[in-house]
A and B are shown apart, each in its own frame.
Chain A
Amino acid sequence: MTARRHRSTFRYIGKRLIHAAFTILGIAVINFLLLQLAPGDAAEALAGEAGTADAEYMESLRRQFGLDRSLIEQLGAFLLRIVTLDFGWSFRHGMSNWDLIMDRLPATLLLMGASILLALIGGIVMGVIAARNVGRLPDRLISVGALLLYATPPFWIGLMMIVLFSVKLGWVPTGGMYDVIGGKTGFAHVLDVMWHLALPVLTQAFFYLAIYTRLVRAGMLEVLNLEYIRVARAKGISENRIAYRHALRNAVLPLLTVVGANIGTFLGGAVLTESIFSWPGIGRLMFDAMMQRDLNLLLSILVLSSIFVVIANLLVDLLYAVINPTVELK
C-alpha cells in the first residue's frame, strides 16, 4: 500500500512540474509584454546618465542590447534563453544576471525564512492562547494587538523601529547586512548578520504574525468544538495535550495554504523592507533594476522568482498531504 502511495506521489509531482513549466512560461511572456509597455528603455536610461541624447549613440546602444529588433523577435530570443536557463548579461552591473541574482538570493531567503518562521511560531502561540481564553483578557489583548499589526503598513513599522531602536537607543544598526569595516568571521560573523537582521525580520514578521494569529485563533475555536475533542476529554487527556496535540494540528492546516501564498507574494513586501534597511537582497536589486530600466535583469528576477514560488508551493502542498492524511495526492 505504501509503495502504491509513493508511486502516486511521484506521478503527482511529475504532473505538477509539467504544469509549473507552462505556468512559468506564461508568466515570462506576460511580464515581458508588460515591461514593453513601460516608458523608456536601458538605452535611454544610460544615455540620460551620460548626459547625452545623441541619436547615433542611442542607436548603437540599442543594437548592442538587441533592442532594435521587432517585438516578436525579442520575445522569441527571450524565451529561448529562459528555456536554456541563460538569463543574459546586465550591462548596468557588468555581471551575468544569473550571478547577480544568486549573489543576492541568500539575503532574501534568509529574510523570508526568518520572518515567516518567527511569525509562525509567534502566531501559533498567540493564537492558541487567545482561543483557549476566548472572550477573556488575554484573548482581547491578543486580538486587538493582531488587528493593529494587521492594519499598520509594514514600512511604517520599519521606519518607526529604526527611529526608536537604531537612532534613539542605538541598539541595532540602521541598515545593511553586516559590519563592512569589521570583517568578522565564523561565529562572530553569524552574530553580526543576526544583529543586522533583527529589524528587517521584525518588520516583515509583524504583518504575517497578525495574519497567522488570527487564523490559528479561528481554527482552534472551530476545532475545539468538534466531537473528537470531546472524545479526547472523555479519555481523560489533559487540556494542554488536547490543545497542542489534538486541536492544533487540525487548526494549522488552513494556515499552511496561507504560508504558501505569503511565500509567493513575499518579494512584493521585500522590495520596501529591503530598501528601507538597505538589505542586499533580491527586492532591492529589483527596485534598482526598475529605476535603471535594466529590463533584462528585471525580467530575469521575475522569472526566477516565479520558478521559486512554484517550487515552494509544490513543497507546501506535499507537506500538507503529510500532516493531513485525509488528503490523497492526485
Chain B
Amino acid sequence: MAKDTLLSVEDLHLSVSHMPEARILRGVSFDVTRGKTLAIVGESGCGKSVTSLAVMGLLPEGLTKTAGHIRFDGTDLPVTDNEAMRKIRGDRIGMVFQEPMAALNPVYTIGNQVAEVILEHENISRAEARERVIALMREVGLPDPDHIVDEYPHRLSGGQRQRVVIAMALACNPDLLIADEPTTALDVTVQAQIMRLLKGAQAELGVAIVLITHNLGLVAQVADRVAVMYAGRKVEEAETRRLFSAPLHPYTRGLLAATPRPGRRQEGELPLSEIPGMVPSITEDLRGCRFAPRCPLASDICHRVIPEPRMIGATSVACHNTTETEAPA
C-alpha cells in the first residue's frame, strides 16, 4: 500500500446472507489516494452503492462480506456496524446520498442536524457548535446562514438541502467523502454548483472523494481516476484522461460510445450506440468473464476463464482480449 493511499479495498466479496449463491460483489479492489477523487461508474445494479456502504460499515442487513479487506488509513474496517466504526463515520469518513429531499429529518432544524454530528464526535459546547454550523453554512453557500440554521428542512429547495447534507458530511473535517450520485436528483445548473462546491472543499480541506455517478461528463471534469464496474467486478481502472482517450475494456468502450458528446462526429467515429444484451443476474454463475455474453470480441477463453485484472500500460484491465499493442504508449 503506497504511503499516500487513504483507502484500500482489496478483493471485496459480498453475498446475500441467506442465499450465498447470490453474489453481489465478486472481488472488487481499488485504492483512493489522499486528497484525490476516484470516480466509480457502471450500470445500474453493478454494486457501486453496496461497495460504498461496505466502506461506511453500513451494509444493509441481509448482506455479508464473504472475503476481502477494507483498509482505511492503516486500519482494517469491518463492513458491518460496530462501535469503533461509528466513531469513524461522520468524523473521518463523510457520506452524501442521492436523495436530498429525503435526507433531512423533517422535525428538527437544519442547524440542529448539522450540529449533531459535531457534538457526536467532538467535545465542544452547544454554543461553539452553533458557531461552527453557521460558518459551515456560509462555506457551503447557503444564503443568510444566521437565519437558515433555525429553519426546518421543508422550507429549503433540493439544492439547498444537498448543501446542508454536504455541510454535515464535511463538518468534522473528514479525510474521505463518499458521494453516491450526489447530483442525480438535482437540476442541471444546481448539479454544476454542487460539484464545484465539492471540488472547492477538496482543494481547501484536502479531502479525498469517492464519486459514484452515471454522468460520464461529470467524471471527465472532476475525477482524477476512474474505476469501471460491471456485474459485481471492476473491469477497468485508469487515470481519467487515459480512460477517456484510450479505453481498453470492451465494456468501457461500449459505455463511452453510449454517451452523447457535444460537437460533430469525427471521421470514423461511430454513431451513439447501446450495448446489446442484458447484465447477468447476481445469482448467475458464469464460468468465464461476466461481460462475455454481450461482448463483441468474446472468444472461446472468455467463456471458460475469469479474466483477472492486469496492468497494461498504466491501466488496470480485466479482459483476455486486450493486449499490450492496444495500449497507447
Contact A237 B97 (CB under 8 A): no
Instruction: Tell me the complex Cα distance, A232–B89, Å.
Output: 10
Contact B89 A235 (CB under 8 A): yes
Contact B103 A236 (CB under 8 A): no
- Which residues does B use to contact A, with CB under 8 Å? 56, 58, 81, 86-91, 94-95, 97, 99, 102-107, 116-117, 120-121, 152, 154, 165, 168-169
| A: number of interface residues (CB 8 Å) | 20
Instruction: Tell me the complex Cα distance, A230–B58, Å.
Output: 8
One of A230, A235, A239, A250 near B116 (C-beta < 8 A): A235
- Which residues does A use to contact B, with CB under 8 Å? 226-228, 230-239, 246, 249-250, 323-326
One of B81, B105, B169 near A232 (C-beta < 8 A): B105
The answer to whether A231 and B165 touch (CB under 8 A), given A236-B86, A325-B152, is yes
Contact B90 A236 (CB under 8 A): yes
Instruction: Tell me the complex Cα distance, A139–B169, Å.
Output: 34
Question: Which 8 residue pairs are nearest across A and B when measured between Cβ atoms?
Answer: A236-B90, A227-B102, A235-B90, A236-B89, A234-B95, A235-B117, A325-B152, A228-B105
Q: Which residue of B lies closest to A328 (CB)?
A: B154
Contact B86 A238 (CB under 8 A): yes
Most chain B beta-carbon contacts within 10 A, residue among A228, A233, A237: A228
Contact B58 A233 (CB under 8 A): yes
One of B87, B102, B106 near A324 (C-beta < 8 A): B106
Contact A233 B89 (CB under 8 A): yes
One of A227, A234, A239, A246 near B89 (C-beta < 8 A): A234
Q: Which residue of B lies closest to A239 (CB)?
A: B81
Residues of B within 8 A of A234 (CB): 56, 58, 89-90, 94-95, 97, 169
Residues of A within 8 A of B97 (CB): 227, 230-231, 234
Instruction: Tell me the complex Cα distance, A279–B95, Å.
Output: 58
Contact B90 A325 (CB under 8 A): no
Instruction: Tell me the complex Cα distance, A61–B139, Å.
Output: 84
Instruction: Tell me the complex Cα distance, A235–B87, Å.
Output: 9
Residues of B within 8 A of A236 (CB): 86-91, 117, 120-121
Q: Which residue of A lies closest to B60 (CB)?
A: A230
Contact A250 B106 (CB under 8 A): yes
Q: List 6 A-B contacts (CB under 8 A).
A: A227-B97, A230-B58, A235-B89, A236-B88, A239-B81, A325-B154
Instruction: Tell me the complex Cα distance, A324–B121, Å.
Output: 28
Residues of B within 8 A of A246 (CB): 105
Contact B58 A324 (CB under 8 A): no
Residues of B within 8 A of A235 (CB): 89-90, 116-117, 120, 168
Residues of B within 8 A of A323 (CB): 107
Residues of A within 8 A of B116 (CB): 232, 235, 237
B117 to chain A, nearest CB (A): 4
B329 to chain A, nearest CB (A): 43
Contact A325 B107 (CB under 8 A): yes
Instruction: Tell me the complex Cα distance, A323–B107, Å.
Output: 7
